[in-house]
Structure 1
């Protein structure tokens, strides 16, 4: 039977018990909250992971993770089986152009129709952390969150995850780029699990993601192919 996600409040209690850090300093709604910032050393992290592993009979590999919200997302990924969506489109354009345009996160509001803004928060090499803000819904609600993506040009692969998970227990996205006879196949595989208090369950969210992915991928195809034609026209 799937285990329920570990709530921020429960995780805060575990961290406080294992490290002695005051609860008021454990601002888990802050995606930038690092272990160093709250004074959690390697021994404290080991104590946290050990308690969670023993409590839930899971194994955790937090190597490279330095932020408490990321560690909570890792725990919840292990606790619950993910729901998976898989969508793709073939773009008639050179791989280099497809890669460059779709990985220019700052320009995403001009590539996707759903984003009002994309703000780069930090970039080191092929890893970029950014905030996405959507256009307001009819009732005025504006959704915004922080994500991070790691690009591997040689492998034609990008792995991304939500740092601010919002209604998700976790959300991971894998982009792949594959050369075909008809062009470049851009494929999105998303794996996620919703929190118990989320406004939608996994099945409902999967339906929404599948519908929206088809719309966005078709739009990206049109805009990248238009850019390819414009470039070809200039070089002739």
Structure 2
């Protein structure tokens, strides 16, 4: 099972970083590649929030995803749902841990590529790692500069 794991330290409170990065309705503002982000359903019960949402990227491709957020532990688990292609599956885990410099935000993506997808795994891994690092650096810059906040 291929895995991408990247972390970055953001000079801000863990709760703030968690709240900003999990405000799906604002993802087109927070992430550069999304032109639209729609929350389709959201249920909160105690420390848990479950969300189903649809993302559209700058090229016009859309997909639905699911996530559950643990507001106490500051952990998110998620998966891409429909369409899955070019993946056989895509599972994500985001965690936020207070460190002396602020918050260590870690994103883990476990996945399998669809057998019909003809891009080599090494190329996909390189692209995903680069893309994830760019997203994390962009979020760090936006949060630390105050461009995005609660």
TM-score (norm 2): 0.91
Measured after TM superposition, the shift of residue 202 of structure 1 is: 2.8
User: Cα–Cα, structure 1 residues 169 and 229, in superposed 2: closer, same or farther, change >3 Å?
Assistant: closer
For 1:95, the equivalent position in structure 2 comes to 14
Whether 1:188 and 2:89 are equivalent positions in the alignment is no
Aligned residue number for residue 114 of structure 1: 33
Instruction: Kindly tell me the number of residue pairs found equivalent between the two proteins.
Output: 145
Contact 1:161 1:173 in 2 (8 A): yes
What is the root-mean-square deviation in Å for CA atoms of aligned residues?
A: 1.7
Greater strand content: 2
Q: Which runs of 4+ in 1 moved over 6 A?
A: 228-231
> Which structure has the higher relative contact order (CA within 8 Å, separation 6+)?
2
- Of Structure 1 and Structure 2, the greater helix share is in 1
CA-to-partner distance for each residue in 1:64-120, whole Å, 9 max, x for gaps?
A: xxxxxxxxxxxxxxxxxx100111110001122111111100001100101110011
SS in 2 for 1:215: helix
Alignment partner, residue 94 of structure 2: 175
Q: Give the corresponding residue for 1:166.
A: 85
Q: Is the 8 A contact 1:121 1:130 kept in 2?
A: yes
Unaligned ranges ≥5, structure 1: 1-81, 137-141, 232-236
Given the two structures, how large is their TM-score scaled by the length of structure 1?
0.59
1:35 corresponding residue in structure 2: none
- Rg (Cα) greater in structure: 1
Distance of 1:227 and 1:88 partners within structure 2 = 20
SS in 1 for 2:146: helix
Helix, strand or coil: the match of 1:163?
Answer: strand
Alpha-carbon distance between aligned partners in 2 of 1:108 and 1:116, rounded to the nearest angstrom = 9
2:123 is matched with which residue? 204
* Alpha-carbon distance between aligned partners in 2 of 1:153 and 1:200, rounded to the nearest angstrom: 37
